[in-house]
Amino acid sequence: MKILVIGSGGREHAIVRKLKESPKVEKLYCAPGNGGISQDAECVPVNAMDKDGMLNLVRERNIDFVFVAPDDPLAAGMVDFLEAAGIPCFGPNARAAEIESSKVFAKNMMKQHGIPTAEYQVFHSAEKALAYVRDRQKYPVVIKADGLALGKGVIIAGNEQEAEDTLHAILEDKKFGDSGNQVVVEEFLTGPEVSVLAFTDGKTLVPMVSSMDHKRAYDGDKGLNTGGMGTVSPNPFYTEEVAAECMEQIFLPTVNAMNAEERKFKGCLYFGLMITPDGPKVIEYNSRFGDPETQVVLPRLQTDFAEIVCAVAEERLSEISVEWSPKPCACVVMASGGYPGSYPKGLEIHGLDENGQVEGATVYHAGTKCEGDKFLTNGGRVLGITAMGDTLQQALDHAYAAVEKISFEGAMVRKDIGKRALEAGKLK
């Protein structure tokens, strides 16, 4: 098979690497890809949102299957467009992708189908939203822009003033454009967070191994929210009992709810969960693989990935037995100085070999480009240094030892990836 992966981050590099292991795969393309991905797939400079460009590419190169990885092209109907042209894809159509691209839709669906999530109200007007917040008098309160907002659309307001400023910024000043035409105002939940990715073809749902993201920029969960500064898998808070509860109360009800809404979901459904004192609740859904969750989940996959994604597209996932390595995996992100704010690009990365790798770990490239025989920084998150081990501690040791070998000016690395997971593991 010739497979095209759409996207350009660390997640896409991990997807490409895993597909490359499959004997079914004859040739891999990635559009637009990045410097590191170009070592594993032929990268073609077509923008991830360019539907006609992708169709031309597929036709020109006789590509058999397209894997749409990022949220924006899914929400914009890339899968609808390619499937209408007869090209099989991995990923949901636009209506199903609304589970991520409209928080209002996702919340209303959960409420209607009894799926546990935070209490909430939807507002179009800042005035009404603020009246509700004032009336409630419970802080912090969580305010979410309805649509996609580059991972920045969730604001946790600690007091009335912050809530007022946030509501004005989103609903009146249109800080997130049309993504902020409506907001969800919801109850603040507490508890450890767990990410669970699941394969589903709309009939069968197969959860992958769990993971834990580290969203804040600095050690000790300080600083701004980022796309994710590191991940570990498995997540010790996701016990077998919690997993069983999630399957029964969240995962299967979500698949059924999407079918009932005539939005059959096919692809990877991402459950962002919080294990609250009242049990697991949904914090968010994503309609795709997480980044950098994918970088710790896919290395543990032992079943042919290309077989699985084809089975999902053909709605025969029930025929496949999906196997995992018991070994833990850790990913430490090296980000540009200044991220998630503004940051420089084009800095030389030292310490990588000619394939963009280092010994003792796998380096997934997130924001890099090649120039001659050099790798240069080209994004906020630059590299995800990933390793497996017999224990989580060993996986982290391998990953951090590899991080030591790599450098670029201003590089930001959290030193405490996996710390919370290690501590929780010890408690048991």
Per CB under 6 A, residues contacting ligand GLY are 213, 227-228, 286, 290-291, 293
Which x/- pattern over 274-293 shows residues binding ligand AMP (rule: CB under 6 A)? ---------xx---------
Question: Based on the number of CB atoms within 10 Å of its own CB, is 20 exposed (0-12), middle (13-18) or buried (19 or more)?
Answer: middle
In the complex, what is the shortest distance from the CB of residue 144 to ligand GLY, in angstroms, rounded to a whole number? Answer: 13
Task: Supply the minimum distance, in Å, between the C-beta of residue 291 and ligand GLY.
Answer: 5
Please, which residue, 213 or 261, has the CB nearer to ligand GLY? Answer: 213
**DSSP designation for 119:** -
For residues 105 and 69, what is the distance between their CA atoms, to the nearest angstrom?
Answer: 21
Distance CA 147, CA 359 (A): 41
Identity (one letter) of the amino acid at 219?
D
Distance CA 398, CA 415 (A): 13
Among ligand AMP, ligand GLY, none, residue 280 binds (CB under 5-8 Å by kind): none
Does position 100 bind ligand AMP by CB under 6 A? no
Is 73 or 358 the residue whose CB approaches ligand GLY more closely? 73
Cα 328 to Cα 97: distance, rounded to the nearest angstrom: 30
3-state secondary structure of 51: helix
> Residue 311 binds which one of ligand GLY, ligand AMP, none, with CB within 5 to 8 A depending on kind?
none
Q: What is the nearest approach in angstroms of ligand AMP to the Cβ of residue 350?
A: 33
Of 10-18, 158-166, 180-188, 252-260, the window that binds ligand AMP (rule: CB under 6 A) is 180-188
Question: How many other C-beta atoms lie within 10 A of the C-beta of residue 131?
Answer: 12
375/98 Cα distance (integer angstroms): 36
- Helix (H/G/I), strand (E/B), else coil: 33: coil
The contact mask relative to ligand AMP for 186-225 (x = CB under 6 A, - = no) is xxxx---x---------------------x---------x
Q: Is 272 in the site for ligand AMP (CB under 6 A)?
A: yes
Query: By CB under 6 A, is residue 71 in contact with ligand AMP?
Result: no
Q: How far is CA 278 from CA 19, 190, 242, 254, in A?
A: 39, 10, 12, 19
Binding residues (CB under 6 A) for ligand AMP: these are 118, 142, 151, 154, 186-189, 193, 215, 225, 272, 283-284
